[in-house]
Amino acid sequence: MSSLFGTTEPLSIDQADALPRGLVDTLVDSGLVERIDGGLRGTVQFSSWEGFVVAHDPSNPLELRSDSVSGINPTTRTLAALTVRRPVQRALDVGTGCGAQALLAALHAEEVVATDVNPRALWLTEINAAINGLTNITCVEGSMFEPVAGEKFDLVVGNLPFVVSPDIDYTFRDSGLPGDDVSRLAVEGAASVLNPGGYAHLMCNWMLEPDAHWSDRPLTWFTSLDCSSWLLYHSNESSRDYAEKWNHALLRNRPDEYLDTVERWVAYHNDIGAVAVANGAIVLYSDGLGSHRVDRMAVPPQGNGGSQVERAFSAAARTDDRDLNEAVITLVSPHSLQQLLRHEDRRYVAADAQLVLDDTAGVAGDVAPMAAHALLRLDGQIALGDVVEQAVEETGLDRDELLDTTISVFAELGRRGIIDVRWPD
């Protein structure tokens, strides 16, 4: 049976005849298998991911159809790692694709609604829910948030067709909307359906305009929202590099069409004022505060990165007049502290260390050498000010300089969710 659902040859007539007739009929009726001259051929592939078996279309770019449904890819993994995992009543997976995010959400949500404009995606999501024994996922056909108008959710996840493309060739890639409107509308739509205290996590691409900072454009999407936001920037590519990346594998056997397509995409980007395209993720938290921050992903999100997301928004919600000097700081484990030594003027000089969580949203923290003296003395029991006094006594460092540096560094680590900050009652 494995050859039916992989990249190997179809089953021959003799091999197919060896299978139970009822099983063959069931597979054909379900659409997972089709009869061809000479035997049977599977129409999907199966992948193992996060303890699930996930059905999706074959990954060979030359075999893609317009309604092909992608399997597990880097954006799938990134979104999964960023998502806050806590018990909720209702979750929404918008643009569900093969349903990978819906499967994960179903483990901690009482009800999951999965939407997609592509009927084949919903068919595969229903199959994946069934073969993994999940009964709390409901699939609804329609564009983005239209199928759930007027409804509210405690969690939203979205890996939409965010590519800044002039084409409408593939539903997994091309939204048919101009520029980066699909990402903007995803942000606005997610904010509109969140219950108070709810989180939304969205993978996005957005245009970079001449002389603009990478955060300028998406920050304009947040100004009218009641939600707080965290823009997590990964990288950007020139319009030409971007066009080549998204088309090379699809058209590598048609070089003339590939070159024409790249030029057409570049011309489209010029027309809409884009010199490059940025990629990353956006997290929304419905707290009514409307605070916004931006950070660069220094490492790939992994593990339970949603725990870092929760700590970051919790820190942002605290009032500014609380004195970090009185707070008790706890390091989040497991993590790594990576120190760089630079050789200058015949000696080694300590540069900022980097604190990276194992369960990370991709955002690391810089620790100045001076603040490291306090960091290494944290025990999760005494206030930060007392930790600094201990470091001063043991090292002889200037108290004011050590305190100022430590407060500055730890405040930023707290805002990024890299440490746990607790004040006495």
Neighbours of 263 (CB within 10 A): 12
| Cα-based torsion angle of the residue sequence 307, 309, 315, 317 in order, rounded to the nearest 10 degrees | -120
Q: What is the pTM of this model?
A: 0.91
For the chain, the maximum distance between any two Cα atoms, rounded to a whole number of angstroms, is: 84
Q: Are the CB atoms for 190 and 94 separated by under 8 Å?
A: yes
Question: Which DSSP category does 116 fall into?
Answer: E
SS3 267: helix
Domain boundaries, the chain: 2-42, 50-316, 324-422
Backbone angles phi, psi at 158, to 5 degrees: -150, 120
CATH architecture of the domain covering 324-422: 2-Layer Sandwich (3.30)
The mean pLDDT value of the chain amounts to 91
Q: Look at residue 23 in the predicted model and tell me its pLDDT.
A: 62
Q: Does the pLDDT at position 9 exceed 90?
A: no
Nearest to 144 by CA among 182, 106, 192: 182
Nearest to 199 by CA among 294, 279, 79: 79
Of the options 3.40.50.300, 3.40.50.150, 3.90.1170.50, 2.60.120.10, the CATH number for the domain spanning 50-316: 3.40.50.150
Instruction: Please give the Cα distance from 42 to 27 (Å, whole number).
Output: 9
Q: What is the helix (H) or strand (E) element at residue 357, kind and residue range?
A: strand 353-357
pLDDT tens digits along 265-320 = 999 999 999 999 999 999 999 998 889 999 999 999 999 999 999 999 988 766 54
Q: Does the pLDDT at position 19 exceed 70?
A: no
pLDDT tens digits along 236-254 = 999 999 999 999 999 999 9
CA distances to 147, 166, 256, 306, 417 from 142, rounded to whole Å, are: 5, 21, 36, 28, 36
Q: Are the CB atoms for 158 and 55 separated by under 8 Å?
A: no
Q: Look at residue 37 in the predicted model and tell me its pLDDT.
A: 76
